Amino acid sequence: GAGVSQSPSNKVTEKGKDVELRCDPISGHTALYWYRQRLGQGLEFLIYFQGNSAPDKSGLPSDRFSAERTGESVSTLTIQRTQQEDSAVYLCASSLELAGGPETQYFGPGTRLLVL
């Protein structure tokens, strides 16, 4: 596709419910990132996928957060038993990693999650 797409663009849910956020990366990009951005703050790394390697989950804040990626395609971020502090914009980025070279991340528009 032309760019990274994310869905839904906005999600309002009740505390305790599960939510799924979707990311479609740029075709051919091997790397995919999820970030969280709270209002007025910087981007917080959550998880990273690269090809068939085991994902780097070191940024996931709790076991309520999980993510999957189908090959080098779509990724889903799942938040179980949502809490009000999960309210944020969830951003997805993809990149084409080249050995020994610089990397440029291309971001989607984000999903704005509000937990009531």
Decide: is 98 part of the binding site for another protein (CB under 8 A). Answer: yes
Q: How far is the CB of 50 from another protein (least distance, A)?
A: 8
- Buried/exposed 53-91: b ≥16 CB within 10 Å, e otherwise: eebeeeebeeeebebebeebeebebebeebeeebbbbbb
Decide: is 104 part of the binding site for another protein (CB under 8 A). Answer: yes
Dihedral sign for Cα 30, 86, 43, 21, please: positive
Decide: is 91 part of the binding site for another protein (CB under 8 A). Answer: yes
Decide: is 22 part of the binding site for another protein (CB under 8 A). Answer: no
Q: Which CB, 14 or 104, lies closer to another protein?
A: 104
**Polymer length in residues for the chain:** 116
Site string for another protein, 33-72 (x = CB under 8 A): x-x-----xxxxx--x-------x-xx-------------
88, 93, 113, 115: which one binds another protein (CB under 8 A): 93
